[in-house]
Amino acid sequence: MSQHRPAGASGRAGAVPALPDLPEATVARLPEYLRALHNLAEAGDDTVSSEGLAAAAGVNSAKLRKDLSHLGSYGTRGVGYDVALLIHQIEYVLGLTHRRAVALVGVGNLGHALAGYAGFASRGFRIAALFDADPTRVGEEINGLTVRHIDDLLQTAAEEHIAIGVIATPASAAQRVTDLLVAAGVTSILNFAPCVLAVPEGVDVRKVDLAIELQILSFHEHRKASLTALPGGRDEADPNLAATGTDDTVASASVEPAAPGRTRPTRTEVVGS
């Protein structure tokens, strides 16, 4: 996850309130809480219990209460959490109180889909510029934006105040794009290319590799199959259990993916790793 940066000395006139020093696992869960809270708000709920919010976010309530205590939010006994207030607190901590401009580099099949995704706007982000090195792509209009040549990235990043770069290029081009983004002053990068990027200290990289996520799921499928195939396994007693997926032994063996670790210089992280 992104490393916390100093937010200004306390007591100084006009200083930004210091961010809490949150555990990385807590930071990874905050977006899930925020998503659930927005759904509750849209449904007209003003308050929510810790159990209700935990269920909506897919975590246990004890973990949720501990996470929110880091924000100074403890809820009210018998009432729960104020939905609007908690949304504000989490959005502040995640830096979503204003929209962040995003540059998307690579408008192939994946990039084209990302450029057209309407969900970014509701989550606090604005796709401000699209880039590609393919001359046949340059000039194409996607979701109201014209694709620019990658050579225009430095100038455009300054003009659009780009905060985050998204790389959806082939692996062979990803490092060059990363270097351009860093040169343009972009210090947060989301990488969809199947490769590890070298970045200087102070640049945070998140890596999304769908093939890796599928391989992890394949492991769990393999594990479940091997457990039910053991001598005396539940499938011997009742083969229908393995087919219906109601085997309690198998379910209890499922492993929750570890929370992402802290970003280190000159390396990238895999989401869900």
Q: How confident is the model over 103-127, as pLDDT tens digits?
A: 999 999 999 999 999 888 878 899 9
Kind and range of the H or E run holding 173: helix 171-183
Q: How confident is the model over 5-58, as pLDDT tens digits?
A: 333 333 333 333 567 788 889 999 999 999 999 999 999 999 999 999 999 999
Q: Across the strands, what pairs with 102?
A: 127, 164
Q: What are the φ and ψ backbone dihedral angles of 239, each rounded to 5 degrees?
A: -55, -25
| Strands in the chain per DSSP E | 47-48, 81-82, 100-105, 125-132, 141-142, 145-149, 162-167, 188-191, 204-207, 269-270
Looking at residue 98, what is its pLDDT? 82
Q: In the chain, count H helices and then E strands.
A: 12, 10
Question: Between these two residues, 19 and 196, which has the higher pLDDT value?
Answer: 196
Looking at residue 50, what is its pLDDT? 94
What's at 267, amino acid-wise? R
Distance CA 263, CA 273 (A): 12
Looking at residue 76, what is its pLDDT? 85
Looking at residue 243, what is its pLDDT? 44
pLDDT surpassing 60 at residue 242: no
Q: What are the φ and ψ backbone dihedral angles of 101, each rounded to 5 degrees?
A: -80, 135
Kind and range of the H or E run holding 66: helix 61-69
Rounded average pLDDT over 196-204:
96
Looking at residue 73, what is its pLDDT? 82
pLDDT tier, 261 (very low <50, low <70, confident <90, very high otherwise): very low
Rounded average pLDDT over 238-262:
41
pTM of the model: 0.71
pLDDT surpassing 90 at residue 102: yes
Of the listed ranges 1-15, 108-122, 214-228, 252-266, the one predicted with least confidence = 1-15
pLDDT surpassing 60 at residue 200: yes
Strand 188-191 with 204-207, pairing: parallel
pLDDT surpassing 70 at residue 67: yes
> What does the DSSP assignment read for 8-64?
--TTSTTPPPPPP---HHHHHHHHHHHHHHHHHHHTT-SEE-HHHHHHHHTS-HHHH
Length of the chain: 273
pLDDT surpassing 60 at residue 194: yes
pLDDT surpassing 90 at residue 84: yes
CA–CA distances in Å: residue 3 to residues 22, 186, 188, 202, 264: 10, 15, 10, 8, 9
Average pLDDT, rounded, for the chain: 82
Could you tell me what percent of the chain has a pLDDT over 70? 78
